[in-house]
Structure 1
Amino acid sequence: MSAKENLGDYYADSAYTPTKRQQWEAANPERDTIIGSRLTWNRRTQENGTNEEYGYNNIAISQNWEAQREEKGLVGDDIFKNMNVRYDHQCIMPPNYKAKAGFFHTTTAICMAGGYISIFFLFFLVPLLFVPAFFNGDYQGSWEAAKGLIKTLLFLSALFYTFYRLGNWLLKNHSDIFLGMKKSPLWQANRQTGLLTIYDPRNAWKPRLEAPFHECDAFLQSSPDTQGSATYSLILYHPFQRIRQKLDAQFPPTNMPGELVAAWQFLQRYMDVSQPLPDVPGLEIHRHKDPTTAAADQQQGRNPRYWRDMDEASVQQIQEEKYRKNIRLR
């Protein structure tokens, strides 16, 4: 797509710009809401994104997806139907994992954490059992208590390690099970059309909602994790259709609310056709295909291989800088 091409020939009339949101808010000051912290819309979103958006591996992942798409000649919805994911200059359509995939992900993560906790207790809690013996001289009693605790912790460590290794074995040898994905999407955000589509989870590819992106409100909702700490999710909610959608598939829940504020800013920037695409590693190979982005990059003299020519350590340094900035966002 040439940077000189008329933008009106490429973007739909419904494509998002901040002016549309400002006008919509002015026309709808009283609207339905949900529990949670409603996030603000930015008139001009700064360059931002979550820690994961700046991952160095995203370069190779995007190149792999693009190679598959070109090899198979995929366009439009066929991209997701064949690859179970879409992430480019036109559309974000994240994977829709099956319930068993979520179970394997969660179980493997819990087992890894459980193993570390068991080892921690083994080396730091067991010695504490001998502290009373220094005062009362009952070393035999302390040793009996320590033996029981050691047996329990060794059993738990072995159990956690076994399930952790099983999860990794499945990931390596049977990724179709560990990363099982449905052939239909959860939602899509389309930059070219400006529409947010939420699909019916019980009826593949049937939209529950198809509405202009600027008509949705964004919320942070919190719920306790297994340790009782607050875990936050980013939710889009249409106040008139009263339909909500968690964006966990693209922006995972976290105990750092600033990361999801950055995710919300990233999504706004992605959808805003008056601004270039977010400058993140995974979108670099698509920047020249988007008219607004191509024109801005040409004007600024941006190196089209900015991320791809950078070494991994340098990308990780930028990623860390972004993360430190994000955790302070509110």
Structure 2
Amino acid sequence: MTQESYYAKTAYGSTEVPEQEPSNERPWIMRFAKVRLPWGNADEVTPVSFVEEYSPRDLRNQEHSKIEREEQIAKGSYTPSPFEHIDFHMRDNHESFRYALLPVSSHFWIYMVGVGRILFLIFLTLSFFILTAEFIDTKKILSDIIADYSVTLVVLLGLPLLCWMAGAVVIKFFQNLWIKPSRGPIWELNRRTGLVTVFDYKNNGEYKKNGTIGELTAPFYEFDAYIATSPDSQGMPLNVLYLAHRYRNIMINFGALLCPGPDVQPPCALWDFIQNYMNVSRPLPDLPQYEEYRHLDPTTAEYDRLTGRNPRYWIDMDDATFKQIVSEMHQRVDEIDTFERPNLMAGYVTYVD
């Protein structure tokens, strides 16, 4: 399949951006604590978590499971897993990156485990110091001290432990209670079409009751990236990447994809990743999760043919090499030069703010 027949006319190529209308002035809320990032000159970097998401060992396990599944299907002995046919509205391949979140009911059990564990460990450490101080101060025997604080210990340790254990039991043994699909995707970056879509579940501020999902769609090159900075509960800055349309009220908050943090380098690396992923004049970002799809994307397949890239580069990688690559990506993200780059999109659009 040729590039011309595979990619849509709206596909994004860094050297084929059309002239555009002057940008609209952003509302004050968009200008507040938000820095616009430059277009172009994207480096071959990505948030480190994207590299770590699938280790070579994970890829080999997936390959083994796929081979086993195909053998069982051929023998007529295959039994589908309970969740195999559920659409979780997630896509991350050579055509599109579609993102969705688990529903609130699923997050409830996840938070039960996480918060319960953290609170239990904090209160366990605190209780140890309190009981030790009480022992030193009163010289009582340990059993008497524990009896004096029994109610407090039950509350401080028992409730978090109960939450932790209950959540862990449900997640491990009662998956039907917590593994459920969300109502639909949140956003999509489509490499093949060059379009960005935000899925709209509201209509004039009201949630749609008929089950339909609106779609707000525009070409990728009509969006700009911003870093929004806001304080956490301790006053420390948290940086989040946004993608905002220049002419319409279409916006993507990537905070759920990349956890907000005090450093601006990870959001900048995410912006480079997005530009590289959407740019059909360049191959797919070379990440473990895309290795099985590289031959299906014409630009990437041609690049791999010309460079002689090993099609099993990631899956056959040893653990030591993978660890070294992750370490190198950490360093490259730390040294990213985003704010020193010119905004190449300024050659195609006039910014009014």
Q: TM-score, normalised by structure 1?
A: 0.78
The residue number in structure 2 matching 1:32 is 26
The residue number in structure 1 matching 2:12 is 16
Q: Is the 8 A contact 2:102 2:180 kept in 1?
A: yes
The residue number in structure 2 matching 1:116 is 121
The residue number in structure 1 matching 2:46 is 49
- 1:84-163 correspondence to structure 2 within 5 Å: 84-124=89-129, 127=132, 152-153=152-153, 155-163=155-163
State the SS of the aligned residue for 1:245: strand
CA deviation after TM superposition for structure 1 residue 283, in Å: 0.7
Deviates more, 1:197-206 or 1:281-290: 197-206
Q: Note the alpha carbon deviations across 1:179-213, whole angstroms, 9 max, x for none.
A: 43224211111000000011112455633410001
Say whether 1:316 aligns with 2:323: yes
- 5+ residue gaps, structure 1: 72-78
CA deviation after TM superposition for structure 1 residue 228, in Å: 5.1
How many residue pairs were aligned?
A: 310
CA deviation after TM superposition for structure 1 residue 128, in Å: 5.5
Task: Identify if the C-alpha distance between structure 1 residues 22 and 125 changes in structure 2 by more than 3 Å, giving closer, same or farther.
Answer: farther
Q: Is the 8 A contact 1:54 1:315 kept in 2?
A: no
- 1:243-322 correspondence to structure 2 within 5 Å: 243-322=250-329
For residues 208 and 314 of structure 1, the distance between their equivalents in structure 2, rounded to whole angstroms, comes to: 42
CA deviation after TM superposition for structure 1 residue 47, in Å: 1.4
Counterpart code for 2:14: P
For residues 258 and 150 of structure 1, the distance between their equivalents in structure 2, rounded to whole angstroms, comes to: 48
Deviates more, 1:277-286 or 1:82-91: 82-91
The residue number in structure 2 matching 1:75 is none
Say whether 1:171 aligns with 2:182: no
- 5+ residue gaps, structure 2: 74-83, 202-206, 339-353
The residue number in structure 1 matching 2:78 is none
Task: Identify if the C-alpha distance between structure 1 residues 84 and 208 changes in structure 2 by more than 3 Å, giving closer, same or farther.
Answer: closer
The residue number in structure 2 matching 1:221 is 228
State the SS of the aligned residue for 2:40: coil
Task: Identify if the C-alpha distance between structure 1 residues 53 and 18 changes in structure 2 by more than 3 Å, giving closer, same or farther.
Answer: same
Q: TM-score, normalised by structure 2?
A: 0.73
CA deviation after TM superposition for structure 1 residue 54, in Å: 0.8
Say whether 1:187 aligns with 2:194: no
State the SS of the aligned residue for 1:217: strand
CA deviation after TM superposition for structure 1 residue 126, in Å: 5.1
State the SS of the aligned residue for 2:111: helix
State the SS of the aligned residue for 1:82: coil
The residue number in structure 1 matching 2:349 is none
CA deviation after TM superposition for structure 1 residue 317, in Å: 3.3
Q: Is the 8 A contact 1:80 1:86 kept in 2?
A: no
Counterpart code for 2:44: E
Task: Quote the sequence identity (%).
Answer: 28
For residues 133 and 229 of structure 2, the distance between their equivalents in structure 1, rounded to whole angstroms, comes to: 36
Deviates more, 1:264-273 or 1:44-53: 44-53
CA deviation after TM superposition for structure 1 residue 63, in Å: 5.7
CA deviation after TM superposition for structure 1 residue 124, in Å: 4.4
Task: Identify if the C-alpha distance between structure 1 residues 286 and 129 changes in structure 2 by more than 3 Å, giving closer, same or farther.
Answer: same
CA deviation after TM superposition for structure 1 residue 81, in Å: 7.3
State the SS of the aligned residue for 2:87: helix
State the SS of the aligned residue for 1:167: helix
Say whether 1:326 aligns with 2:333: yes
Task: Identify if the C-alpha distance between structure 1 residues 256 and 195 changes in structure 2 by more than 3 Å, giving closer, same or farther.
Answer: same
